[in-house]
Structure 1
Amino acid sequence: MFDPEGDSPLYQQVSEVLRLRLAQSSPGAPVPSEAQIQHEFGVARTTARRAIRILRDAGLVHTIQGRGTFVGAYTGIPAKPGNSSKYRQIADELVQHILEGRYRPTRPVPSETALIQHYDVARETVRRALATLREEGWIYTVPQRGSYVAAEERWPTTRNDNQTTVVESATSHAPARQ
């Protein structure tokens, strides 16, 4: 199957392995991310991207920006209705850690590299999650130093996505924000 020393291009070999796996998957099932393919096969991200492109061009998978790649042709129906994008899931989890006191005001949040490794996602996904938190007022970034949790008084009172209101922090006894 996959032979890194073989004479066919790596992206074609990876694409063929994925094609065989897709045959046993149901429509709408997620396809491994570029980062997962990169890790599994030990290839560059561009190789993983080209392998996915072959499958997409053949109509075997479809990609929804911000959500991922899924088995089958695009039907106009989201693969998993109601799920938010990966960057939003990461941002939400980081907010939860802030509210629980795991990440305290004026203290650093994990680095981009640490978040990439923890969530097994692309750098751009982590950057988008951090940018979202910056825009919402949860964190701020110091050039050449990293991102830090904002002072509690700067935290938003409601989330931009209208999902949640900020609740009482697990480390304080202040009244819940509305």
Structure 2
Amino acid sequence: MTDRPTLPFGAFVAVDRALDIPDVLAEPVAAALKSWDAPEAARSVLYVDGDPEQADTAAFSAAYDVPLEVSANCVVVAAKRGGRTTLAACLALASTRVDVNSTVRKHLGARKASFAPMDTAVGATGMEYGGITPIGLPDGWPLLIDAAVAATPFVLVGSGRRRGKLILPGRALAQLPGAEVLEGLAV
């Protein structure tokens, strides 16, 4: 009998445990899954293949029958205070948007916060634009997760590449290094 995972949602041809296919994932994502100090959470992460041309949330949702309420976007934010810039990742359901100018700025103690430029986000994470995920972020980065994401039974996030996505329990995301679950992160 095989230990073949089942999908909680979506219309995908195949599903694999992400730990079983590290060569398909972006290097930081594969390394993070392998070394995650929550092995049960790491084992819960599923990988589903997808067309990189359909990687943007709305297109992916339509193409693979994934409700926006279970899709989460990971965005990189640059928070500035006194000449110092702190990069952080924020995770919110695709049906909402991250409150960068108020909640994120205040939480990070910054005078100004904005979405990081694409080149900065890609260079700092080692992931592809359109595939940035909370799994495998650089050491020391804050990971701000909207409470609604953590409360969602299963969530679809990027895989570190434009090709494919990851599905995992929302509660597992709260176990990632640097994770902080915040009420009102997204509006």
Query: Under a length normalisation based on structure 1, what TM-score does the superposition of the two structures give?
Result: 0.26
- Larger fraction in helix: 1
Higher Rg of the two aligned structures? 1
Query: Under a length normalisation based on structure 2, what TM-score does the superposition of the two structures give?
Result: 0.25
